[in-house]
Structure 1
Amino acid sequence: MEKLTGDPSPFPGVQQYIRASQGQWRLSGQSRVRIADNASSDGNKVLYDTIFIVLSEYAGSLTQSERLMPVVYGEGETPDSGDIVIDLNSSGQSRGMDSLEGYVIDIGSYARITAPSERAVMYGLRTLLQILEAEGFVPCGTITDYPAVAERSLHIDIGRKFYTEEWIMDRVREMSRLRLNTLQLHFSENEGFRLMSESHPEVMSDQALTKTEMKAIILAAQRYHVDIIPSLDSPGHLAQALLTHPDWLLKDSAGNAARGALDITSPAARRFVLDLMDEYAELFAGSRYFHIGGDEFIDFAEFDKYPQLAEYARNVLNISGGTGVDAYIDYLNGVAEHLESMGWIVRAWNDGLYRGDQTQRVAPKPSIQITYWTKWHPMMAPLDAIVAKGHQVINFNDGYLYYVLGEHAGYTYPTAEKIRASWHPGLFSARTGEAKQEYTGDYPREFIGCTFSIWSDKPETQSEAEVAQGIRGPLGAMAELAWLGKQKPHGDAEVSERS
């Protein structure tokens, strides 16, 4: 193996580039994009739009004018020198890959991209044109590329801070270029609720995205092959939503309301949350996943301060010996079942589940996927305990992948250098002084992917532009490692020469 002089790899890098001993592919004034004639591409408007998006990104930098390369259907008997052939079919998966996002680029007198999905076509075409833009040519050979983990995502807290429609769309475009495929939009927090509600307009902050704006974001994400996950946190983090409903706040035995905590013993309060879930399930109808929160409901070591929760578990839920934690888990299961009945896959945070200082008589539904963000408390369940209960997990490692505005709560801004030096996709959060929680080698099926998170705790400390600039390096580092796998920073993709 040898690393190519000048390193023609794009960013993110590629898994393998086997280079011929000679030959280069270049565009000519007559170059065309030819779509191979097969059932997958016939009349496929999504494919045409995908090609158009990528060609538009490189218009002017690869040609003498802003004119896009012409796109034609059918490759003819032999494509012309300088052409690009797009072959959308499942055969890409049979060339050493098991991913709908993988692609192969065979580079000779013309370049042929074989891919099993429109998303993979987008990734492959960008890879080819990135190398061409950087070098002026592409060395002949074969590029084989595929992701190390299935889900590579960005989470944005748009509840505490108002972000404009255009700013979020810019993140979608940036994500697509980084081969990130999922965007989680967290629109409700103690400090703000920033997505229009028609069922309960009283919950909204003064600045909030309209449904028209959110629909435009959803459409843009679809065009750029980015999946969106709505995130509506409950039964905690509801201070803004409950400003006009103080009777629905959970109160301790002294009558003090717990900040942002829903009284889950109240049928009206539970119905309120389900109303919101129903409304946003309709708005995000094209999505697969719904994040229901579940974190930081109360201090999970202090359920005894709220004796009505245990009474509810025993007297209403009929759980023998039931406790407050059983009432809490029953609530999460109820919300999950409600959404699952509509076809959603439900996600929740890890910090309140299977704790070592609690006896649970009610278990979380194994179908709930767990976004594992922290183990700062010694009683929080370790990763393997959650997986042993049948849950799939997503890595939200707060030690490396949390960009918290104002560096609030002891966090410092992550850097690309730190992520590349010490993190890999299978490295989860662990308590200081305890053993690492990590997957190495082949990842288990329970491990879905990893996420970089923007948390807007101190919204005034950075402008939209400063947030975008601040995340650029660490987000790119996380994206490349999530694509390539453990400890393979930019430029270290497998490259060899063949005669």
Structure 2
Amino acid sequence: MGVNVVPQPVSVIEREGSSRADALDVSVHGGLPSSASGSAHPEGYTLDVAPDGIRIEAADDAGAFYARQTLAQLTDAEGRVPHVHIDDFPRFAYRGAMLDVARHFFPVAAVKRYLDDIALLKLNHLHLHLTDDQGWRLQLDSWPELTGIGASTQVGGGGGGFYTADDYREIVEYAASRFITIVPEFDMPGHTNAAIAAYPELGDAPAEPYEGIEVGFSSLAIRSERTYEFVADALRELAALTPGPYLHLGGDESLATTDEDFQYFIARATAIGAATGKTLIGWHEMGRSRELPPGTIGQYWSYTTPQEGAAEHTLSFVEQGGRVILSPADAIYLDHKYDESTELGLEWANGPTGIRDSYEWEPADVVPGLAEHDILGIEAPMWTETLSTIDQVETMAFPRLASAAELAWSPRAPRVFAEFEPRLAAFTGYLDRLGVGHA
């Protein structure tokens, strides 16, 4: 039958023969403290399929869940599974996807469907981009018009939408059942037109609800104390709703904010965020500040060859005691066109991003001076300026999300697309059987 699994396991021993999966008993056991076994690593597992049964050993419940994801991929359309022994564990602790629910709003059911999708690939974080110029998507008791006026629009019109606190809790709980941590983002001080439209005192000038896709024109009123009351209230409520360890504060494309004001805002806003007890994440521009709370994580979104300043700003997080999540736009921005014929998507990051482009890069080689241990993980963002349905999201995500998952999970090795291709073909066949859309 062959062993075609994405992401590629650490070790695979193939044996002769196969069995019907539904005819084999499955036993699950706690991990053994052996340095030769995947089950000794956090989120790791061993999977043994033999004629007399299937045995899973896992370090934790997440490892057992991932073993079952591997087993599901191994099982063919006829229900047969090859006899095999697999030792497996992840390269990086943070393996993520991002869904932009601000440009277009996606209801709870759609977010749950995307959680199901990313769980297939052993991804363990979903970053929700909850606010932008086009909409504020999480209800806050302290500032109710954020989801009154601020949630009334989206790109292209047609209304917007928002999550109540109970909606958000439902998403968080559903994610946790799949060993996925929700990472919420309130983007600031730029990308804030929706907030200013709801509360004009948050800006230096009033704003109207916005349905376009241009960026960089909005900014909070940096020197107003009212702004920091808003930041404190918003982050306090967000932290209380979020059991996971992270809050994302954005910080990107603040083109309408002077450098002096940006530095002032980031120092104050991150101090407020850190006071919630959460670990903060910011896009790499936030690394312009040298007053970040220790341990703040930078998210790199420049190219696989860094643009001017991107490497310096990214390394700033490490120099201040933090680590880095890699999201190079020209490799794993999933909203980018596959090629010139792709109907949906954008192409500003060095043109279309083919499947080969999404696979043939090495995380540790992107930012000069960034060591392997400085990398927390990899995240594949899905921006939604051109995407309004979950079917469209799946078509743009798959199969390129599989590339990101393999880079995040599998050991460092030369990435040869010809070797990846047959496993990817098997994976898209698996998606077909599940009814998951792909390009």
1:296 alignment partner in structure 2: 253
Supply the distance in 1 between the matched residues of 2:174 and 2:112 (Cα, whole angstroms).
7
SS of the residue corresponding to residue 262 of structure 1 reads coil
| 2:249 aligned counterpart, secondary structure | strand
Name the aligned partner's letter for residue 91 of structure 1. Answer: P
Residue deviations 1:443-499, cap 9 Å, x none?
62210111111112345xx53312221211111222123222441626689xxxxxx
Alignment of 1:464 with 2:378, yes or no, is no
Match of 1:280 among 238, 255, 258: 238
Does 2:221 match 1:263? yes
RMSD of aligned C-alpha atoms?
2.8
The verdict on how the C-alpha distance between 1:409 and 1:174 changes in structure 2, with shifts beyond 3 A counting, is: closer
Task: Give the aligned residue type for 2:33.
Answer: S
**Given the superposition, is the C-alpha separation of residues 179 and 224 from structure 1 closer, same or farther in structure 2, using an over 3 Å criterion?**
same
Deviation at 1:296, TM superposition (A): 1.9
| Paired residue type of 1:277 | L
Shift of 1:230: 0.6
How many angstroms does 1:148 deviate by? 2.0
Shift of 1:365: 2.9
- Structure 2 residue matching 1:374: 3-state secondary structure: coil
Of stretches 261-270 and 481-490 in structure 1, the one that deviates more from structure 2 is: 481-490
Matched, 1:451 2:379: yes
Going from structure 1 to structure 2, the CA distance change for 1:154 and 1:341 (only over 3 Å counts) comes to same
Match of 1:45 in 2: none
Contact 2:297 2:324 in 1 (8 A): yes
Per the alignment, residue 49 of structure 2 pairs with 107
Aligned residues: 386
Q: Is the 8 A contact 1:237 1:260 kept in 2?
A: yes
2:283 counterpart of 1:353: no
Task: Report the alpha carbon displacement of residue 132 of structure 1 after superposing the two structures with TM.
Answer: 3.0
1:414 corresponds to which residue?
353
Paired with 1:135 and 1:148, the residues of 2 have a C-alpha distance of 32
| Partner AA of 1:328 in structure 2 | F
Q: Indicate if the aligned counterparts of 1:424 and 1:482 stay in contact, CA closer than 8 A.
A: no
2:308 equivalent to 1:378? yes
Distance apart, 1:136 and its partner CA: 4.6
Aligned to 1:219: 173
Is the aligned partner of 1:391 residue 2:333? Answer: no
TM-score (structure 2 length as normaliser): 0.79
Identity of matched residues, %: 23
Q: What is the CA-CA distance between 1:408 and the residue it aligns to?
A: 4.4
Match of 1:339 in 2: 273
Give the secondary-structure state (helix, strand or coil) at the position aligned to 2:171.
helix
C-alpha deviation, 1:394, in angstroms: 0.4
Structure 1 residues 83, 438: closer, same or farther in 2, change over 3 A?
farther
1:113-165 deviations in Å (ceiling 9; x for gaps): 10011111011123224323357544434211112222110111111111111
Retained in 1: the 8 A contact 2:334–2:400? no
- Mean Cα displacement is larger for which, 102-111 or 269-278? 102-111
Partner-residue secondary structure (3-state), 2:247: strand
Residues of 1 paired with 2:421 and 2:20: CA distance? Answer: 24
* More displaced 10-residue stretch of structure 1: 108-117 or 219-228: 108-117
Contact 2:287 2:316 in 1 (8 A): no
- For residue 87 of structure 1, report the CA deviation from its aligned partner: 0.4
How much has 1:265 moved relative to structure 2? 1.4
1:130 pairs with 2:48: no
How far is the alpha carbon of 1:389 from its aligned partner? 4.1
Structure 1 residues 385-394 or 237-246, which shifts more? 385-394
Q: In the alignment, is the contact (CA less than 8 A) between 1:91 and 1:115 conserved in 2?
A: no
Residue 424 of structure 1 pairs with residue 362 of structure 2: yes
Distance 2:279 2:286 in 1: 19
Amino acid at match of 1:89: G
Alpha-carbon contact 2:251-2:282 (below 8 Å) kept: yes
Structure 2 portions without partners, runs of 5+: 153-160, 206-215, 337-343, 425-439
Cα-to-partner distance string for 1:213-245 (whole Å, 9 max, x where unaligned)? 222211110111111101011111111011133
In structure 2, the CA distance between the partners of 1:248 and 1:178, relative to structure 1 (3 Å rule), is: same
The offset of 1:413, in angstroms, is: 5.1
